[in-house]
Amino acid sequence: MNFERERQIDFWCVIAAIVAMLLVQNLTTSPARSQEPAQRSTSHGLTVYFGVVPAAIAEGIARAQGERNMHGPQATAAHSHHLIVAIFNSGTGERVTDATVTAKITQPGFEPPEKPLEPMKIADTVTYGNFFDLSRPGVYRIRLSVSRTGTARPIMIDLLDDHPIPRYRP
């Protein structure tokens, strides 16, 4: 019985890994595209691509790559999600790999604290990410603060994520 349950868990980890890889592939491709996706914003010389995936998918990918504790110990909330951000120089298209990035995700009546987005090396590229509790459906405002060496002030970039109604998963 335990063997069958382990096979089911492994199967879902593989499925989660494939879905996350497709998302990462979408985030890590060149910013030059014929149509601007909704999960993209250009401001102050930076182009930002972002994605929000359930924490279980992000954790499944991390485990598949041998990482045990992505972003340190996390309380696994039922509606925990992982924000992933890829940042590019708008003029040159070069990936920004030397930034300090924080994010604050808010909704009317919902003001959690700002969190750092940690650099993550995925497929020889650098993205930034962390876990957030997104337990309420609706539109979330994501405010990024991007600090780089040699700049006087951080660049503030606002993003919107239309979050679906959460479903219960046994």
Q: What are phi and psi of 62, to 5 degrees?
A: -60, -45
Please spell the DSSP secondary structure of 51-73, one letter per residue: EEEEHHHHHHHHHHTT-S-TTS-
Assess if residue 170 is contained within a domain.
Answer: no
Assess if residue 169 is contained within a domain.
Answer: no
Return the DSSP state at 19: H
Count the domains in the chain. 1
Assess if residue 33 is contained within a domain.
Answer: yes
Assess if residue 128 is contained within a domain.
Answer: yes
Residues of the chain with pLDDT under 50: 3, 5-9, 11, 13-14, 19, 22, 25-36, 168-170
pTM: 0.68
Q: What is the CATH number of the domain that holds 124?
A: 2.60.40.3340
Strand residues in the chain grouped as ranges (E): 40-43, 46-54, 80-89, 100-106, 115-122, 125-133, 138-147, 155-163
CB-based contact 148:112 (threshold 8 Å): no
* CA atoms lying within 13 Å on the CB side of residue 141: 12
> What pLDDT does residue 142 have?
94
> What pLDDT does residue 122 have?
73
Assess if residue 126 is contained within a domain.
Answer: yes
Rounded to an integer, what distance in angstroms lies between the CA atom of residue 152 and that of residue 40? 25
Domain that holds residue 21: 2-163
> What pLDDT does residue 23 have?
52
